[in-house]
Amino acid sequence: LKLGPCARPPLAPVPPRASPQPAPEPQPAPQSATADHPDIPTATRADGLEYLRIEDIRHRLTRRPSPFTRDNNAGGGFVGDLDLLQIDIVQYETEESSGAQCQGVLDPSDGSCIVLPQFAVRSGPREHIYHDPRDVTAAIVTCGGLCPGLNDVVLNIVTTLADYGVPDDQILGIRYGLRGFLDRHAKPVQLSKREVDGIQLRGGTVLGTSRGNAKITKIVERIRLWGVTQLYVIGGNGGNAAAHAIAKQCMAQDVACNVVGVPKSIDNDIQIIDKCFGFDTAVEEAQRSLICARIEARSAGGISVVKLMGRQSGFIAMNASMASGVVDVCLIPEVAFTEEKLLDFVAGILRAKGHCVVCVAEGAGQDTVDGHPATDLSGNPILADVGTYLRDLFKRKFPERDVKYIDPSYMIRSIPTITTDRIYCKVLGQAAVHGAMAGYTDFTVGLVNTHYVMLPTTTIIASARQVDPKGRGWNRLKTSLNQPDLV
């Protein structure tokens, strides 16, 4: 064979793959000190790498080869139990660099920085599992408010369980949130590949949802009665807090049930992970409302106020404002403003452009609007309506201007997902099942630095993630709007 100057030589023949040998039982890694924060369980790998430790109940279960070993997981291989992913990948030059002030999780309650170990455990299919799929009884529940992608996650949990070999009549859908465990008028439904086919094309959740009702002891008793061995909780901070409490109660009552969370928050306020499912869809739909608001404001020479979701975190407002390119003022819960400074800035915009678009997150300005200190059934603060407050304020200050108020929140959260979220939900559903089959419990799955990991539930619910007023994201928006500090 004569090769040209740029041709590659022929590849050497690949030797036949040796038959896999039984791997030794993995030994638990030694725990390191976690005195700095009790909600951050930490362990150390043999080579000294410190990582977020994931609970398991493997001592209650029987180790066996995964059914996917017959074809080496379709040729893709398996994930090691201690494959680790680095959480913070930026190496800052100095402490003055943007973002270097907290290389961990910022606790918004007191502004402190919670230091994390460097690594998290990678998610994915393991070569050995700890359940006989034929004996698994799985339950899936959706909790809290609606969010694009709930049906996608349900679909992919069901299909992955079926791929492992879990029988159709042993996958239960819990109706209307956690209350479905106890409400005799909301009996569980059987789920199968056939039953969930196409549900990703619908908004909302086919299982129904509700807030609160976390009667943990009674729920665990029902788990025992029904013989549930895997529970999948799709919820936000409140739902994951309930999942953690259920996991702990299962262990305390010697109930062998793996409890897995899938983080759902349209506000994107879950710690550590890159983003929550449904967030991209929410931003895409929100920026459409902002573009419509600009048309209204520009056509009438007036002001349009658009209120978006974001109780404690302004990620949707910030990102939709950046994406739309039509916003003049963005107000978020993390950054205070005063009436005087806001009105002066809006007046300047009206003089310069003849119209103004204001995007406000629902939790912004609560100290100015006199927000209510009460909370709802999920523990979320009950907010005063900053949208109508701003509408009325602008009408009083600029009586000659037409003022429009738009609140698209419920329309945004009830739509089906766009493609990026649909792919994300697919992998989250798969990752949740892989983790449960591998014997892990009291964890949630998510994307960190574009890779999928398992995280301790306690770590992600320790506090709500918020926009960093000194971070690059908010700075980019401020500079693009030329928005000054409004206090």
Catalytic positions, written as ranges: 267
Helix, strand, or coil (residue 106): strand
Helix/strand/coil percent split, the chain, to 5? 35, 15, 50
Contact assessment for residue 298 and residue 311, using Cβ atoms and an 8 Å cutoff: no
Amino acid at 357: V
Where does residue 176 fall: left (phi above 0), alpha (psi -120 to 50 degrees), or beta otherwise? left
Which amino acid would we find at residue 274? D
- CB–CB of 234/264 below 8 Å? yes
Residue 161: closest CA among 457, 421, 431, 420: 431
* Beta-strand runs (E) in 274-361: 303-308, 329-331, 356-361
CB 143 within 8 A of CB 180: no
| DSSP label of 176 | S
- Kindly state the helix (H) or strand (E) to which residue 128 belongs, with its residue range: strand 128-129
Strand partners of residue 190:
172
Nearest to 180 by CA among 134, 137, 212: 212
What is the three-class DSSP state of 52? strand
- List, as one string, the DSSP characters of 277-300: BTHHHHHHHHHHHHHHHHHHHHHH
Say what the alpha-carbon torsion angle 404, 409, 412, 415 is, to the nearest 10 degrees.
-130
